[in-house]
Chain A
Amino acid sequence: MVEKIKTEVQQLLISGKIKGFLGLREQHGQVGPYLFTDAQDLEGMVIGDRLKPGDSRYPLNKQLMRIARCYPDEVFGVMVRGCDERGLRTLFGSNQLNPEKVVSVGIACPQELADACECLKPFPDEFVAGEPAEARSFQTVAKLDAMEIEDRFKVWLAEFSRCIKCYGCRNICPMCYCKDCTLESRDFLAIGSLPAENPIFHLTRAIHMAGRCIDCGLCNEVCPADIPLRTLYKKIADIVEEEFHYRPGYGEAGTRPSFKILGEDLQH
């Protein structure tokens, strides 16, 4: 599968269409993000399926934003899965990346990963490698929804109580790009003290994921306390779709939601 990506990237680099390709490289026994700039040196490129599908995914769009801010005139390629493509579209829509400066090289996720992610679309619109897997619905959300509201609240309070306030969920998130973060604002939260205010810390972040989370699941994977954040944000995405008929990253590239400010529709 990676050979097809390599061929595509090689052509993009040789033709001069892109200045560099942000992908993954296995070096020194570990897999991490890497900016390939030499068409003759694509040794070690991987797609992030080391021991099992998707076990070494990184928020490449976040790294791309960092590079693009320093070099706004250059065009960069980036490896995208279905979730990454949704991320790119949403970032284009909020002016965090310029669609004319990004060339995506897509891969479709295998069924095993789509199942584990409960992914609604485990492939980008265009991909050079992989076979499209079937979509899966949010069983984790349905399971919690089946509970009485008091019990559900107790479950979440117990999950949040394990938080060590590492800010990893915020730091890894490819959709978190604000210069001033509410989670570091003394007006909203007790900064620099433990434990994290329960449930305010996590509900604050959850609200900020509304209209933004593209369900990549990196927050869930990065959490040292195994808090099922992905399930929480999946639920938020369901609510946003129900209320505003918008799910981040679906529809035409760069499209914005039909509302300007979340909540505006509710006022009328």
Chain B
Amino acid sequence: MEYRTVLTTCTYCGCGCGLYLEVMDGHVVNTIPCKTSPVNEGKLCVKGWNVHEFVHSPKRLTQPLLRKNGELTPVSWDEALDFTVKRLREIREAHGSDCLAFLASAKVTNEENYLIQKFARAAVGTNNIDHCARL
């Protein structure tokens, strides 16, 4: 028998609400807002309340997919990244840096968001940066 509550942070937006995931025999089964979290003080929105639902979803991507002959095909990370770099380079050379845009995320850390804007501005040369929280 295993029943645990795991303290974590909601992944849905940038607020960072504190919550506990209830884990029963290795499966995440429920969400409980953390009463002592200074961010949300024991409250959650409807998304936060259901954050446990996607964890074991069979619809989650588990490996990179590349569209080959119209079909999404599982490929290695190396192949996926090489293809992405090749196409981004081709597009930039043909149409200029401002034909590319970067979408940052509220679900990652400040440091990772810093990196993507730095990459966009310094490496690629565009100010086209937006983020997923503009919903």
Residues of B within 8 A of A222 (CB): 33, 42-44
A168 at the interface (CB under 8 A from B): yes
Q: Does A66 contact B (CB under 8 A)?
A: yes
Q: Give complex CA distance A74, B2 in Å.
A: 13
Asked if B35 contacts A66 (CB within 8 A), the reply is no
Residue A246 at the chain B interface, CB threshold 8 Å = no
* Separation of A78 and B104 alpha carbons in the complex (Å): 45
Determine whether B132 belongs to the interface, using a CB cutoff of 8 Å to chain A: no
Q: Which of B1-49 contact A (CB under 8 A)?
A: 1, 3-5, 7, 18, 20, 22, 24-25, 29-30, 32-37, 42-46, 48-49
Q: Which of B30, B32, B42, B49 contacts A167 (CB 8 A)?
A: B49
Interface centre among A35, A57, A167, A224 (most CB of B within 10 A): A224
Q: Is the CB of A30 within 8 A of B29?
A: no
Are A30 and B7 in touch, CB under 8 angstroms? yes
A32 B5 Cβ-Cβ under 8 A: yes
Q: What separation, in Å, do the CA atoms of A178 and B107 have in the docked complex?
A: 33
Instruction: Point out the residues of chain B lying under 8 angstroms from A165, CB to CB.
Output: 46
Closest CB in chain B relative to A20 CB, distance in Å? 7
Contact-residue size bin, chain B (C-beta under 8 Å from the other chain): 20 to 34
In the complex, the number of residue pairs spanning A and B with C-beta atoms less than 8 Å apart equals: 78
Q: Which of B22, B24, B36, B45 contacts A30 (CB 8 A)?
A: B36
| 0 or 1 for each of A28-68: is its CB under 8 Å from B? (1 = yes) | 11111111000000000000001000011110000100110
Are the C-beta atoms of A224 and B32 separated by less than 8 Å? no
The interface residues of chain B lying within 8 Å CB-to-CB of A203 are: none
- Distance in Å from the Cβ of A23 to the closest Cβ of chain B? 11
| Residues of A contacting B7 in the complex (Cβ-Cβ under 8 angstroms) | 27-28, 30, 32
Is B4's CB under 8 angstroms from A67's CB? no
Task: Report the Cα distance A251→B44, complex, angstroms.
Answer: 35
Contacts A66-B30, A70-B25 given; does A34 touch B35 at CB 8 Å: no
- Residues of B contacting A34 with CB < 8 Å? 5
B44-A168 in contact (CB<8A): yes
Tell yes or no: A11 within 8 A of B by CB: no
Chain A contact residues (Cβ within 8 angstroms of B): what range? 20 to 34
Instruction: Tell me how far the C-beta of A145 lies from the nearest C-beta in chain B, rounded to whole angstroms.
Output: 28
Q: Is the CB of B35 within 8 A of A57?
A: yes
Q: How far is the CA of A33 from the CA of B6 in the complex (A)?
A: 10
Contact yes or no, A35 B24, CB < 8 A: no
Question: Does A223 have its Cβ within 8 Å of any Cβ on chain B?
Answer: yes
Which residues of A sit under 8 angstroms from B1, Cβ to Cβ?
A: 19-20, 70-71, 74
Q: Do residues A166 and B35 form an inter-chain contact, with CB atoms below 8 A?
A: no
Are B3 and A67 within 8 A (Cβ)?
yes
Chain B neighbourhood of A74, CB < 8 A: 1
Show the binding face of B for A, using Cβ within 8 Å: 1, 3-5, 7, 18, 20, 22, 24-25, 29-30, 32-37, 42-46, 48-49
Given contacts A29-B36, A33-B22, A66-B24, could you give 19 more A-B pairs where the C-beta distance is less than 8 Å? A30-B34, A32-B20, A50-B36, A55-B36, A56-B35, A56-B42, A63-B22, A66-B22, A67-B3, A67-B24, A164-B45, A166-B45, A166-B46, A167-B46, A168-B33, A168-B43, A172-B32, A222-B42, A224-B44
